[in-house]
Amino acid sequence: MFIRSTERLVRPEHMNAAGALFGGVMLAWIDEAAAIAARQLFHTPRFATVAIKGGVEFRHPVYLGDLVLLRSTLIKVGRTSIAFRVEAEVFDSPNKTPVCVVHEIVFVLKDQQGKPFPHGFSPSLVTQTP
Ligand SMILES: CC(C)(COP(=O)(O)OP(=O)(O)OC[C@H]1O[C@@H](n2cnc3c(N)ncnc32)[C@H](O)[C@@H]1OP(=O)(O)O)[C@@H](O)C(=O)NCCC(=O)NCCS
């Protein structure tokens, strides 16, 4: 399994008017966390987010001062694309279920001209540790 984790601290500028983490900030963190995982797999920054599939679930509110753990798990390997599931959890929360889940975020590797480029990974990478 290829899994990578990153953390973010909830600061005042991340809050919405209701006193919880703004959902758009969480989505940006999730996109970045998965992009970091893709960067570590591709060994190049020449890739793009192309789709979020299967929806986004905001299951629990996140509050000021919370430490958010973002875990990206490789779930699909195509010819030029890869996809991650990303789960966000709050560190030390008594609630052990994810606060937010993106079921599938898809990245495409690109060549110098910006066209999709075969990455050469096998679908078996989903179950292997590279
Ligand atoms: C990434 C980009 C070059 C792909 O071009 P494209 O014409 O869609 O390419 P293709 O149709 O040949 O698809 C390439 C791969 O992406 C996958 N893909 C494309 N659109 C997809 C979608 N909506 N959902 C899932 N996968 C998708 C295809 O299945 C294919 O995967 P595979 O090679 O592993 O089978 C182009 O869509 C693009 O530049 N998009 C903008 C990206 C961007 O700016 N993102 C935000 C900032 S990073």
Please determine, for residue 129, whether its predicted confidence score (pLDDT) is greater than 80. no
What is the edge-to-edge ordering of all strands in the sheet holding 67-77?
3-9, 67-77, 81-90, 100-109, 47-58
As a whole number of angstroms, the distance between CA 62 and CA 33 comes to: 17
**What share of the chain in percent tops pLDDT 90?**
94
Record the pTM.
0.95
Atom 38 of ligand 1 has which residue's CA nearest to it? Answer: 50
Domains, the chain, with CATH or none = 3-126 (3.10.129.10)
Nearest protein CA to atom 24 of ligand 1, as residue: 51
Q: pLDDT tens digit string along 3-43?
A: 999 999 999 999 999 999 999 999 999 999 999 999 999 99
Question: Does 51 contact ligand 1 (Cβ within 6 A)?
Answer: yes
* Residue 78, pLDDT above cutoff 70: yes
Mean pLDDT of the chain: 96
